[in-house]
Amino acid sequence: MQGKKHYQEKLFTNFQLSDRVPVDNIYRKLKETLDLQFLYSATSKYYGKDGQKSIDPIVFFKLLLVGYLENQPSDRRIVNAAAMRLDILYFIGYDIDEELPWHSTLSRTRQLYDEDVFNQLFKQVLKQCIDKGMLTGKRQAVDSVYVKANAALDSIKEKAIMEDAMAFTSQLKDEESKQGNNDDQISDKPEDPKPQKRTNANRVSTTDPDSRMSVKPGKVMKLNYLSQLSVDTSSYIITSIGAFHADKKDSQCLDAVIDKIDNNLKEYGLTVEEVIADANYSSSSVLESLISRGITGYIPNTGTYKQERDGFAYDAENDVYKCSQGNTLKFIGYKNHHGVSKTYMSKRSDCKKCPIRMKCLGKSTYKMLTSSITKPLFEEMHKRMNDDYGKQMMTIRKSTVEPVIGNLIEYLGMRKVNTIGIKLANKCMIMAGIAYNLKKLIKYGGTNFWDAIISLLEPQAIFNLIAIKTATNQFRIKLSPV
């Protein structure tokens, strides 16, 4: 017999959200895992004792998390999604007939709270990961990614000329006219200025002044922010994440990244011993900073690094260079250009009769070489990166931090920030990092046998273990995220 369903709304019903949300639902698990009571004391300073009640701080942060977990960081879409989803309503503690906060309330509250509140939440989640034994903190992989700003290229305008310079020019013209300069001697038509190349130095977005023009090879130029993050290689947990101006080099950001890692881990007794990064992070200041911190770096030298100069050999004992013809280039002093360098120069008399003079010197009458005073640091790094353990570190980097970045961009709402300004962009990236760590936290099933062994071994022993695995194929070591 054919069934036919007739629908009529009930005036009264017995309904509980907790009965309708499955046990394995992510939001039910998060509700059981997260303890956000500390947010009341952390945000109390932003409110007075009188007036209309604000949105509950716990509800606010839960709604933000929903946006990143659903890959919909738009405040309007967050509220719309929550209104239609029983599991989200259960997570934020609202019943089906309760009115949700307005989307503009989320925007205003995000601006109200300082970055410190967002960092406290990040640390709270990180602490839960540490308590579960998910990370050791010893080895960190660092990388960066451009995140689209909430501004279009059409909003870019030329930076205004300084007002005092314009006033000074106007005064000069007035004085010249008073001195009786003839009109026919002064052209009323201003000279056409030479067109300037469009750069961040002379252009700024009127929509979001903190955004910067940047582009990856083969991609279209956009207004972006630069997200820098570090990932613990033992468990793929994000240990720090934040926004930087997109015109900054990676090497200029690494010190700040390591400071963030230390700040997030030191109170839990974890210390960074190794940092892995790509060649974009290589610089003399970075290498010196890592040494001063007692951290071993695994950072390939840039493409401009040359272990030996073609046709010239360095004599460390006498601090001189010798060319292929046997002539000597002596040290003559220091030069400050992109860092302090040592300068070496040949004698004109030696080069005058040299058989390869034109090929070596061109129109010059002597040969000059410069060598960075930090060259030994680059040589040490070159040697470290070319041994077996260094090569294995680069494999580990690719299998940890790069997949995490892909996850954040594709599935956790970090392709673009919907806010204005670097401070709010930083808050958005922190929330994306929290959402990622929470997903790892609730899926964590404990340390397996081989992970437990590896966590107790020294670095060289880990490499030997991997080498044995490769040779015998007797067991498998996990080097990439599940």
- Residue 178, in any domain of the structure: no
pLDDT (0 to 100) of residue 160: 63
Q: What is the pLDDT along the chain (482 residues), one digit of tens a residue?
A: 788 888 887 777 777 888 889 999 999 999 999 999 999 999 999 998 888 889 999 999 999 999 999 999 899 999 999 999 999 999 999 998 899 999 999 999 999 999 999 999 999 999 999 999 998 899 999 999 999 999 998 888 887 644 444 565 667 666 666 665 554 444 444 555 555 677 888 888 989 999 999 988 778 889 999 999 999 998 899 999 999 999 999 999 999 999 999 999 998 999 999 999 999 999 889 999 999 999 999 999 886 666 667 778 888 888 888 888 888 888 888 877 556 778 888 888 888 888 888 888 888 888 888 877 778 888 899 999 999 999 999 999 999 999 999 999 999 999 999 999 999 999 999 999 999 999 999 988 665 444 545 444 555 555 555 554 444 443 334 443 43
- Residue 336, in any domain of the structure: yes
Cα–Cα distances in angstroms (integers) from residue 65 to residues 62, 82, 240, 290, 401, in the given order: 5, 11, 17, 35, 21
pLDDT (0 to 100) of residue 220: 86
d(CA 405, CA 433): 10
pLDDT (0 to 100) of residue 88: 95
- Residue 25, in any domain of the structure: yes
A 10 A CB-CB count for 291 gives 13
Cα–Cα distances in angstroms (integers) from residue 263 to residues 267, 268, 326, in the given order: 7, 10, 54
Largest CA distance in the chain: 111
The neighbouring-strand residues paired with 274 are 139, 296
- Residue 78, in any domain of the structure: yes
Domain housing 356 = 312-373
- Residue 350, in any domain of the structure: yes
- Residue 48, in any domain of the structure: yes
pLDDT (0 to 100) of residue 481: 41
User: Which residue type occupies 182?
Assistant: N
pLDDT (0 to 100) of residue 309: 72
- Residue 345, in any domain of the structure: yes
Reading the block at residue 417, the tokens are 């920030």
d(CA 255, CA 261): 10
Q: Which of 125, 136, 79, 124 is nearest to 105 (CA)?
A: 79
Q: Which of 98, 113, 128 is the last residue of a domain?
A: 113
Task: Count structural domains, the chain.
Answer: 2
- Residue 103, in any domain of the structure: yes
Q: Which of 113, 130, 158 is the last residue of a domain?
A: 113
Q: Which of 373, 399, 418 is the last residue of a domain?
A: 373
